[in-house]
Amino acid sequence: MKGKKVIAMILSMVMVLAIVPATVFAFNSSDWTANNGYGSITDNGDGTYTFKGEANLNPDNSHAGPYTMENGTDIADGPIVEAIDVRIDPAGMEAATEKFALTVSVNGTDGNYKTELLALFQKTYNDSVQVSVGMDPNFTYELTETDIYTLKYRFFDNAGDLYGQFSIEQDGVTIASTDEIDMGVLTSECATRYYIWFSDISVAEGLVVGTPASVTTEADYGKVNEAIAKAEALNRDDYVDFSAVDNAVNAVVYGLDSSRQAEVDAMAQAIEDAIAGLQLKESVSTPEVPTENVNYQIIEGANGTWNKGAATGLTVTSNGDFAKFTGVKVDGVEVAAENYTAVSGSTVVTLNAAYLETLAEGTHTLTFVYTDGEISTEFTIAPQAAGAVDNNTNAMNSPQTGDNSNAIMWIVVAVAAASAMAGTVLFARKKKAE
C-alpha cells in the first residue's frame, strides 16, 4: 500500500455497529504474516496471541504489525463482517507514545485494494485510551477499563453504494459505534474482504489478541430483569397469594455464562407464569372502562362549522348530567380546561376561539366525557371568509324557537311614529289657514 493511502487510512479511524451477527475471527498462526517489517506473533497457548510491532517502524508507519488476507468473504454474498477480540489496558499504556491501529479493507473486482476502515487507539493523559474516527469526525470514545474488547467491522450494500461501520463491544454489549459511513465506492466495484492488519503498534508489551479459553460471556438477563420489574410494579395486597411470584424471583441465579442462556430464559418465564397465575382478592374489582351511553345526545350545535378568524368560540350542548361531566376531548385528545368553558343546562361547552385557531382546517371530533359514558359530534374548521369579521356559524343546526316578539315590537313603534308625524303636519296646515 502506498504511503499516502496509509496516512489517509490512519486519518479515517472508525467504529462500527454490527447489525448482523458476526463470528470472532479464528486466529491461526499460519493465516497471519509477521516478521520482516510486520512485527511478531507469539502464541500464548490459551487461545490468545501477543502481537507486537517492529521496533523501528517503517517510514510511512504502514504494515508495522501482523496482517492476514485469509478467509475473506465476498460482498456479493451479503455483508462482510469481521470481529476481533483485543485486550486493551489503558492503565498499562504510556500516554501519547503508545497506540495502535486496526484496519479492515475491501478489494475491487480487479483484485486490487479499493477502500478500508481504520480505527486508531491512543493512550491519553487521563488514563484512558481514546478511539477516534477520521471518516466519522464527530465520533470519539474513551476506553477506561482493562478488558477484552470486540472490535467489529461491517461492509454492506446501501442502494448500490458500499457502506461501512465499526463498533466496540464489551461483554457482548455494544458500547460505541460510528454512523453508517458512505465508503465512496459502488458495491458493484467491490469483491472480497482484503487485508486485516494491525499497524503502528507501539504498545511496549504488545497486544493480546483473541479470547482466552477460560473467559466466557455472561448470559443475557434482560428478560429476567423485565419480568422482575413487572412483578415489583404490582401491589401484592391486591392478590390472594403472591408467594409464587416471590419464589420465582428468589430462584433467579445471576452470573451464569452464555452457555446456560436457556436456564436464564427459563427463570424469566417462571416469573411471567407466576404473574399470570395471580388471583385478585374478591374485594378488588377491575374498574369498568366507560363506554358511550346511548342515552346521551347532542341536542344543540351538532355537526357545525367554525371559521378561522372568528371572534367567538364554538358552542355545543349535550343532554348529559352536568354533575357527571368530567371534560372534553378533540380528536381523542383531552382538551385543557383553559381552552373551553362548561356550564350546566344540560351541559353547554364552548371551545375558545384561541384554541380553535390552533386546529387544522377540516373535520374534527368533539367528545363530551362523563363518569358513565361519552357522546361525540363532528365539527368543521373552515378558512376565514373574505371580508368577514366573525364568520362563526355557531348555531350549527340549532332548532328555531318561533319567538318573533322583537320584530312585532319594532313594527308597533314604527306605526306610532308615522301617526304622530301625520298629525303634526295636519295641525300645522290648519293653523296656517286660520
For residue 385, the model assigns a pLDDT of: 72
What is the Cα 364 distance to its own chain's centre?
29
What is the Cα 290 distance to its own chain's centre?
32
| Element housing 214 (H / E) | none
In the chain, the amino acid numbered 50 is: T
Question: Which strands sit side by side in the sheet containing 333-334, from one edge to the other?
Answer: 304-307, 373-382, 362-370, 325-330, 333-334
Domain regions of the chain by residue span: 3-209, 222-276, 298-382
Q: pLDDT digits over 304-340, tens only? A: 999 999 989 999 999 999 999 999 999 999 999 999 9
Residue 362 has φ and ψ, to the nearest 5°, of 130, -170
Query: Nearest 5 degrees, angle CA 91-CA 92-CA 94?
Result: 95
For residue 73, the model assigns a pLDDT of: 92
**Taking Cα atoms as reference points, which of 99, 25, 109 lies closest to residue 69?**
25
**Taking Cα atoms as reference points, which of 145, 152, 116, 146 lies closest to residue 11?**
116
Q: List the beta strands (DSSP E) in 160-300.
A: 161-170, 173-177, 181-186, 190-199, 207-209, 298-300
Query: Nearest 5 degrees, angle CA 179-CA 91-CA 43?
Result: 85
**Taking Cα atoms as reference points, which of 165, 183, 175 lies closest to residue 17?**
165
Reported for 270-275, long-range contacts at CB under 8 A and 24+ positions apart, including other chains, are: 271/224, 271/227, 271/228, 271/230, 271/231, 271/245, 272/227, 272/230, 273/248, 274/231, 274/244, 274/245, 274/247, 274/248, 275/227, 275/230, 275/231, 275/234, 275/245
Residues contacting residue 67 through CB under 8 Å, at least 6 positions apart: 32, 33, 38, 195, 196, 197, 198
User: In a 3-state reduction of DSSP, which class is residue 49?
Assistant: strand
- Correct CATH for 3-209 of 3.40.50, 2.60.120, 1.10.10, 1.10.150: 2.60.120
Spatial distance between the Cα atoms of 115 and 191, rounded to a whole number of angstroms: 11
In the chain, the amino acid numbered 46 is: D
Residue found by looking up cell 496482517 in the block = 67
Using 50 as the pLDDT threshold, list the residues of the chain that sit under it: 1-25, 284, 289, 292-293, 390-405, 425, 428, 430-433
For residue 287, the model assigns a pLDDT of: 52
Cβ burial, residue 47 (10 Å; 0-12/13-18/19+): middle
Which grid coordinates are listed for 363? 373535520
Cut 0.75: pTM above it? no
What Cα–Cα distance (Å) separates residue 98 from each residue in 44, 123, 339, 401, 427? 22, 6, 65, 93, 124
Tally Cβ neighbours within 10 Å of residue 171: 13
Question: Which strands sit side by side in the sheet containing 314-318, from one edge to the other?
Answer: 298-300, 314-318, 347-351, 340-344
Please name every residue paired with 378 in a beta bridge, in sequence order, or none if there are none.
Answer: 365
CATH class entry, domain 222-276: mainly alpha
298-382 is classed CATH 2.60.40.10: yes
Which grid coordinates are listed for 408? 312585532
Which grid coordinates are listed for 265? 430464559
What is the Cα 305 distance to its own chain's centre?
38
Spatial distance between the Cα atoms of 155 and 136, rounded to a whole number of angstroms: 15
154, 35 contact by CB (below 8 A): no
For residue 225, the model assigns a pLDDT of: 95
Tally Cβ neighbours within 10 Å of residue 297: 15
145, 124 contact by CB (below 8 A): no
